[in-house]
Amino acid sequence: MSRRFIMRRKILALGQDFWVKDEAGNQVYYIDQKAFSLLKTYSILDQKNREVLKVQHQPISIRRTMDISRDGRLVASVQKNLISPLLDRWTIKIPDGEDITAGGDLFDHEYYIGRNGKTMARVSKAWVSLRESYGIEVFDDADVPLMIAIAVAIDDMMDAIYAEKNRPDVQANVNPDPEA
């Protein structure tokens, strides 16, 4: 058994809070980007405006990292693997538990989230016809808010990676003509 949810694709625009909807169009979780926080922070709220999870950027780390907490307690840290030759891979470290991985084409929102070869969630644009949106299908007894929080963290960090690669100052240093 699985449940499907629809996410907005561009979550980084300042003040762009939004609802995560189920496949019937019901508002299930509200993603509240804290625009004036020192650390980039997203609160995931339920329908009664209670914080279910918090996703927060960690600036002091070797690799890009976003921590996910529940009631002030760390439940996961999302990090991009340093070396992943064939496809994008991310590790989701779970304190006092087995780590989760995410892999596939993360930039195009076609990837899985899983543990020990078992898919816990699949992220895809294939079954969502809404522009600037993608779907999250959560399987079996996987923690739905955690899967959504992982997708929010990956989306945020992938957008930062894309923006960094396309900065004008980085492109200006690239010389397309090796003879010049």
Please provide the CATH number assigned to the domain covering 2-166. 2.40.160.200
Which two tokens mark 121?
A: 């969630």
What does pTM read for this prediction? Answer: 0.84
The mean per-residue pLDDT over the stretch 96-110 comes to 89
In terms of pLDDT, which residue wins out, 24 or 15? Answer: 24
- The domain segmentation of the chain, as residue ranges, is 2-166
pLDDT at 160: 74
